[in-house]
Amino acid sequence: MEESHSPFLEVESLTVERSLGFGERGVALRGVSLTVEKNEIHVIGGEAGSGKSILCRLILGAMERHVKIISGAVRVDGCDILEMKSRKRRAHRRRELAFVGRGANEVFNSQRTVQQSLREFSKFAGAGERVIEEKNWSDVFYSVGIIEPERILPLPIESLSLFMVQKVALMRALISGARLLICDDATIALDRMAGNQFLELLTQLRESYGLTILMAMGNLRGVDRFADRVSVFYEGGMLESGDAESLVKRSECKYTREFLAASPNLSDRPRELPSISREAIREAEEKIHGATTNALNAGSRPDDLPDGEIEE
């Protein structure tokens, strides 16, 4: 009898509301379902407000109280993190998940030194077999491209370049033994060279450390060079999803094709980019808003997600 297979990360029919202020509420995620296999790099692409960042932070278990789960599940290695109480969710996050954001303040207390931050995160992660002890950190530093760790360790996080901050965030993920790495627009503020180097580094770490990686990105140009699968979001819903090469070359939606064309290539010189046509936007709106009304009527579930910052 064959064993049943479960993806490492599974988001099932997730519908989420959020407060818009003045007593108004809006739909942030609309019946979203996606899977990420073990050791896969899965990219969520979309414009600002598409819901990609909200999904990342819900998976991390760090979301504001004004977000309400209407229906659905988020399973990491078979455990539904939305069903967990706050304490258990925090312990699970420290043990299994890691995060790289847009800048230092999303991940670190930037006034602490690199050594203080790494020690603190290692302590939070506990004593699992995947946690790497401080005496063995040297190889991990070299894995993320930090050649002189003795020079970096005593420096405060706020004194580092952004690319070095992202490397230290990756270092934190590795020493804690995290199995799922979530990157939320981690290359958005990097220059073209550093952005390409960061993506190359992710593919190397995936192979060397067996990481599963979920990335939210507003730029999908060249995504088929490093990602296994891509999901395209629009106004909280998923337009389409598939393996990266097929989606880039044969995407079903006009919106996806124009979004790809409007994304700057990290290797390109600056140039004027085309805008997305009204026809493509109309197609995306019809597909998203015409297929997700049932989820809002399915009933709500209790939600004790805490006010969230990624830093513990």
- Domain extent listing, the chain: 9-296
pLDDT at 60: 86
**Residues 103 and 165 sit within 8 Å (Cβ to Cβ):** yes
CATH T-level fold of 9-296? Rossmann fold (3.40.50)
Q: What is the pLDDT of residues 27-43, one digit of tens each?
A: 999 999 999 999 999 99
CA-to-CA distance for 41 and 127, rounded, in angstroms? 27
The more confident residue out of 1 and 87 is 87
CA-to-CA distance for 168 and 203, rounded, in angstroms? 16
Q: What is the mean pLDDT of the chain?
A: 86
CA-to-CA distance for 184 and 306, rounded, in angstroms? 19
Report whether pLDDT(126) > 70.
Answer: no
Query: Which of 17-21, 51-55, 254-258 has the least mean pLDDT?
Result: 17-21
Instruction: Report residue 199: phi and psi, to 5°.
Output: -65, -40
Beta bridge partners of 99: 182
pLDDT at 64: 60
Q: What angle do CA 63, 239, 250 make, to 5 degrees?
A: 135
**Residues 129 and 176 sit within 8 Å (Cβ to Cβ):** no
pLDDT at 296: 47
Q: What is the mean pLDDT of residues 188-207?
A: 94
**pLDDT class for 82, splitting at 50, 70, 90?**
confident
Sign of CA dihedral 160, 193, 138, 43: positive
Task: Report the percentage of the chain scoring pLDDT > 90.
Answer: 63
Residue with tokens 């946690």: 131
CA-to-CA distance for 169 and 162, rounded, in angstroms? 11
The two three-digit tokens of residue 273, written as one number: 């980019």
Q: What is the mean pLDDT of residues 265-279?
A: 69
132 Cβ neighbours under 8 A, 6+ residues apart:
122, 140, 174, 175, 177
Report whether pLDDT(62) > 90.
Answer: no
Q: What is the mean pLDDT of residues 276-282?
A: 94
Report whether pLDDT(304) > 50.
Answer: no
Report whether pLDDT(309) > 80.
Answer: no
**Residues 114 and 154 sit within 8 Å (Cβ to Cβ):** yes
Report whether pLDDT(23) > 90.
Answer: no
pLDDT at 301: 52
Three-state SS string over the chain comes to CCCCCCCCEEEEEEEEEEEEECCEEEEEEEEEEEEECCCCEEEEECCCCCCHHHHHHHHHCCCCCCEEEEEEEEEECCEEHHHCCHHHHHHHHHHHEEEECCCHHHCCCCCCEHHHHHHHHHHHHCCCCCCCCHHHHHHHHHHCCCCCHHHHCCCEHHHCCHHHHHHHHHHHHHHCCCCEEEEECCCCCCCHHHHHHHHHHHHHHHHHHCCEEEEEECCCCCHHHCCCEEEEEECCEEEEEEEHHHHHHHCCCHHHHHHHHCCCCCCCCCCCCCCCCHHHHHHHHHHHHCCCHHHHCCCCCCCCCCCCCCCC
The two three-digit tokens of residue 247, written as one number: 């989606």
